[in-house]
């Protein structure tokens, strides 16, 4: 359950259905949840946090609904309808035509992969967005022990890598990320980031963080060059060997190929991985990052 919650895209109905098939009953789900929480909390101080709690709650809730309502109740169409209805309810001041445009401009994965709060942020960021404009929204997300960073701009190849590079330059640790392209050519990307201490950024630090990210995205700083001096292992870590493992999975998702990279953590790692994928014309729909000691498991689709 821990692996499924932290390494898989819970927003993908296939993930929930596969997990529900393995669990089989509500009672077993309840017992497994208790066991998983106790196991994580027993590892040591600081291992359990709101981020892991949120992921487990989300997986538990969706799996319980699948077990009680039937596996067919977990499908893309239901999630899209629920999500668009929720967004309409949160924007009572918008005209019907504006709402219809916002609802119709996004593909199904966008509606199933993000919360209504995040849909609301993107709806406002996209409204009247210019071709050369980059809009950013930074907001604390205490439920996830992270800061939510939303970006809206015209889509182009390698945009996910550029955003990852900008965040790496400001020292942000990415714990989760999603990126989507709208039907009319706009990129909507959201990252959940923490500071070097593994905590959400304090509110008074957000304006400076926003300025540094905006400066990087506008090309005033080249991430590849600026990260060269930081992309080095600490002296005490050099003797430890962590072989890199890469796997490709076409069964874990209905619409994506899952690329899983298990490797040593280091500054700028996500930027390097996403830049390599972009150079090979691979579109990244989402990246799930889990850090355990000195290693990362990154699942991008």
Cα 297–chain centre separation: 13
Q: How much of the chain, in percent, has pLDDT values that exceed 70?
A: 86
Determine contact, residues 249/257, Cβ cutoff 8 Å. Answer: yes
Q: Report the chain's mean pLDDT, rounded to a whole number.
A: 83
Going along the chain from its start, the domains and CATH numbers come out as 2-73 (no CATH), 76-239 (3.30.70.260)
Rg, Å, the chain Cα set = 19
Q: Quick: pLDDT tens for 101-133.
A: 999 999 888 998 888 999 999 999 999 999 889
Higher pLDDT, 107 or 10: 107
Beta bridge partner(s), residue 174: 193
User: Looking at the predicted structure, is the pLDDT value of residue 250 above 90?
Assistant: no
Q: Provide the 10 A C-beta neighbour count for residue 218.
A: 11
User: Looking at the predicted structure, is the pLDDT value of residue 295 above 50?
Assistant: no
| pLDDT band, residue 75 (cuts 50/70/90) | low
Q: Quick: pLDDT tens for 136-167.
A: 999 988 888 899 999 999 988 888 888 888 88
Per-residue pLDDT at 258? 85
Higher pLDDT, 267 or 239: 267
What tokens does 241 get? 């060997």
Higher pLDDT, 84 or 300: 84
What is the per-residue burial (b if ≥16 Cβ within 10 Å, else e) of 131-143?
Answer: eeebbbbbeebee
Cα 165–chain centre separation: 15
Instruction: Give 150-207 as a DSSP string.
Output: EEEEE--TTHHHHHHHHHHHTT-EEEEEEEEE-TTSEEEEEEEEE-TTSSPPPGGGHH
| pLDDT band, residue 97 (cuts 50/70/90) | very high
Per-residue pLDDT at 249? 87
Higher pLDDT, 117 or 173: 117
Per-residue pLDDT at 230? 56
Per-residue pLDDT at 293? 45
- Please give the Cα distance from 295 to 143 (Å, whole number): 24
Q: What is the DSSP-derived secondary structure letter of residue 252?
A: S
Q: Quick: pLDDT tens for 267-279.
A: 778 888 888 988 8
The alpha helices in the chain, defined as continuous H runs, are 2-7, 13-23, 26-41, 50-69, 76-90, 96-104, 108-113, 116-126, 159-169, 206-217, 223-226, 269-279
Averaged pLDDT, 279-283: 87
Q: What is the DSSP-derived secondary structure letter of residue 113?
A: H
């Amino acid at each position: 359950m821990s692996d499924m919650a932290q390494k898989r895209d819970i927003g993908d109905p296939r993930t929930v259905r596969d997990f529900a098939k393995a669990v089989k009953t509500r009672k077993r789900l309840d017992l497994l949840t208790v066991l998983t929480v106790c196991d994580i909390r027993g590892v040591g101080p600081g291992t359990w946090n709101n981020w892991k709690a949120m992921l487990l709650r989300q997986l538990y809730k969706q799996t319980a609904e699948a077990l009680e309502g039937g596996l067919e109740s977990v499908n893309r169409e239901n999630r899209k309808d629920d999500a668009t209805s929720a967004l309409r309810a949160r924007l009572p001041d918008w005209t019907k035509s504006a709402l219809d445009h916002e609802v119709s401009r996004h593909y199904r994965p966008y509606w199933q992969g993000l919360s209504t709060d995040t849909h609301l942020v993107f709806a406002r960021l996209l409204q009247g967005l210019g071709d050369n404009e980059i809009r950013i929204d930074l907001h604390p997300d205490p439920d996830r022990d992270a800061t939510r960073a939303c970006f809206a701009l015209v889509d182009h190849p390698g945009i996910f890598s550029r955003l990852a590079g900008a965040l790496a330059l400001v020292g942000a640790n990415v714990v989760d990320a999603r990126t989507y392209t709208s039907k009319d050519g706009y990129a909507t990307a959201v990252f959940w980031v923490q500071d070097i201490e593994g905590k959400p950024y304090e509110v008074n630090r957000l304006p400076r963080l926003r300025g540094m990210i905006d400066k990087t995205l506008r090309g005033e700083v080249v991430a590849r060059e600026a990260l060269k001096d930081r992309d080095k292992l600490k002296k005490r870590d050099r003797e430890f060997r962590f072989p890199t493992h890469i796997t490709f999975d076409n069964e874990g998702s209905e619409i994506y190929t899952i690329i899983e990279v298990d490797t040593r953590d280091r500054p700028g790692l996500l930027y390097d991985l996403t830049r390599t994928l972009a150079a090979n014309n691979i579109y990244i729909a989402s990246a799930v990052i889990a850090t355990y000691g000195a290693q990362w498991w990154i699942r991008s689709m």
